A and B are shown apart, each in its own frame.
Chain A
Amino acid sequence: MKNNVKVWDYIVLGFLAIFYLLPTVMAIIYALAEKWYFGTDLFPSQLGFGWIQKMISDSYVQTAFINSYILAPLTALVTILISILPAYYLATRRDKVAIITETIVNLTMAFPAIVVGTGILVLYTFLGLRGNMWALIPAHMFFAIPFSLRSITASFMQVPKDLEEVARVFGATRLQVIQKVYLPLTWRGMLSAFIFSMAISLNEFVMTQLLGAPSVKTLTIVVYELIRGYAISPPRAAAVSLFILLPSLIGGILSEKYLRVSLSLAGGGR
């Protein structure tokens, strides 16, 4: 009976592993498949780094890569900067304003990206910001702010209140308290907010497609063009996918190991 139960444990583990790892493995196989006759062969007849090398040396992909990896950290940085003062308020005051603010911020997650993006598109058209890469940063922040604010507020709540009061009694201003007491003590929360915000920006497709096209290309846009555009090429798409997928997964696994990011954010959704 006990052995039977153990077998079931391993069946569940096996199913889970196949369900989650197989799609990732497929992306890697497609990226490495230099020759694969899909009509007759189950597996590629030749593996290599040909597609990956081609994509690395492709100037179109290079530009998209640079854009993605400029936008993501900047989005994360600005998201955190904009979240610090409100997070301090939310962590230290539990009044009606704080509750209303939290509700409004959480509510942003309920709005469809396509609807908000369409609205921003109208504004950007009149401000002449369509196709402007820097204008994508605040748009990418839209879904990063709720997570960032939640993570930083939760970290700020952990800071012992006596530390702040001592600093204030010795004449520190509130901004100095945030800078000298809160920020050094809450770097883990900041880092988890940074990683998650960066991942959200790297993954962002709808806002970039609506507001950046056709002049601003990011890696997700290139992948989309290679799977649904005029020049469909799954191996190329898989090779470009790896440029986002691998850093995302490595960053994710490390942050789970050291910061428990997703568990601290659970309750929000994506």
Chain B
Amino acid sequence: MSEVRRVSIWYLLPLYVYLAIYLVAPLITVILGAFGISPLIQGGGPTLDGFKQFFSGGSKYLESLYFTFWNSAVATLIAVVAGYMFALYLTIRKPAWWDKFSFIPLIAIYTPYLIAAFMWWTLLWPRGYVALFVNGVLQALGVIKEPLYLVNDPYGIGIILGKVWYTFTLTFLLTYGPLQLINPEIVEAARMLGASTRTIIRRIYFPLSRYALFASASIVFLDNLTGVSVPLVLGAAWPQYLSVVILNDVTLFNNFLMAFTSGFVYLILSILAGYFFFRFTTKAIVHQVR
């Protein structure tokens, strides 16, 4: 590298100073707090009481963690399957309307989470159009007798719908690009050899885009797992997402020990999901380059 091109490492200083103050220090604060070391905890001192309370049988935190996990997993599964199928549909069909209407799924990207959650609430509450339609159809078919609660319900149906609205776009954006990079001559050759669309998807599109799909699944799961606004607005009084429990512990109950402990558990989970995201992203890039 020539002298002209060498750039000093000091150029990174503003970024690292910022990260030290707004990432490292807060994370250390939360980790120490989980072990009782924080001036905000009354009668503070090193302790494992937070973890004992968190993992004790029948603890509301464990219940909340379980609810957060399965609800996020269901929302991720729906969003990833639907988003990937939509990306495949666009790649294979190349519908004429896409150029004109490609902005439609991007509405979700530019809508604030909290407002999107509210917008879905207006559709899902018992007199909302979606609730009236779904309950009307299910009652007409004889599947249910009493109308279902689609929002603020204990199963988190509203949360799942609100999250899928967002993450469908994310999955589609993350998988559509890699699908476009697949050499069309391979697909053409397969077609000439008599492969059906299903076979082409199974043998060409999926193997060549699977890491992008796994990467999108990891980031969508992470997004679902850690979000606050959607479960806050569309969730029930109980069970609640762990993020909502932490928010309440901090803002309503001043229970900092449990907020830090839950935060610590949350951190571990999100780092795991983040690890898979970066691992699959790297693999996807290597795969595409090859």
Contacts and interface: CB of A to CB of B under 8 A. Distances in A.
Contacts of B267: 111-112, 115
B115 A241 contact: yes
Contacts of A39: 127
B7 A13 contact: no
Contact of A168 (B4, B13, B93, B277): B4
B273 A248 contact: no
B123 A248 contact: no
Nearest to B117: A227
B12 to A, nearest CB: 5
Given A23-B123, A112-B266, A263-B173, A213 B29 contact: no
A106 B25 contact: no
Given A112-B267, A122-B29, A262 B112 contact: no
Given A26-B129, A111-B267, A119-B29, 11 more contacts: A20-B165, A22-B130, A42-B132, A82-B18, A115-B30, A116-B26, A123-B25, A123-B29, A138-B18, A209-B251, A220-B115
Contacts of B119: 23-24, 26-27, 241
Nearest to B229: A205
B113 interface: yes
A103 B278 contact: yes
Interface residues of B, number: 93
B27 A92 contact: no
Contact of B106 (A121, A122, A262): A262
A120 interface: yes
Given A17-B101, A270-B109, A210 B266 contact: no
Interface string B230-273: 00110000000001001100110000000110010011001101
A180 to B, nearest CB: 16
Contacts of A24: 107, 111, 119
Given A86-B14, A203-B112, A104 B19 contact: yes
Contacts of B223: 269-270
Contacts of B166: 270
B173 A266 contact: yes
Interface stretch (B33-41, B56-64, B184-192): B33-41
Instruction: Say whether chain A's binding surface is mostly helix, strand, loop, or mixed.
Output: helix
19 contacts: A23-B116, A23-B122, A23-B165, A89-B12, A112-B225, A113-B228, A115-B27, A118-B259, A122-B29, A122-B38, A139-B22, A168-B4, A209-B251, A213-B251, A220-B115, A227-B118, A245-B112, A253-B103, A253-B106
Interface string A54-92: 000000000000000000000000000011011011001
B112 A89 contact: no
A27 B278 CA distance: 37
Contact of A114 (B33, B96, B132, B228): B228
Interface string B92-116: 0101110001011111111111111
A244 B233 contact: no
A139 B23 CA distance: 10
Given A110-B270, A115-B263, A120-B22, A206 B15 contact: no
A216 interface: no
A238 B228 contact: no
Contacts, number: 269
Interface in A211-270: 213, 220, 223-224, 227-228, 234, 237-238, 241, 244-245, 248-249, 251-253, 256-257, 262-263, 266-270
Given A23-B120, A119-B27, A203-B114, A252 B109 contact: yes
B104 A21 contact: yes
B181 to A, nearest CB: 13
B89 interface: yes
Interface string B161-172: 000011010100
B147 to A, nearest CB: 14
Interface residues of A, number: 97
Contacts of A106: 278
B160 interface: no
Contact of B11 (A88, A117, A121, A257): A88
A194 interface: no
Contacts of B101: 13, 16-17
Contacts of A23: 111, 116, 119-120, 122-123, 165
Contact of A122 (B40, B95, B108, B115): B40
B250 A210 contact: yes
A269 B11 contact: no
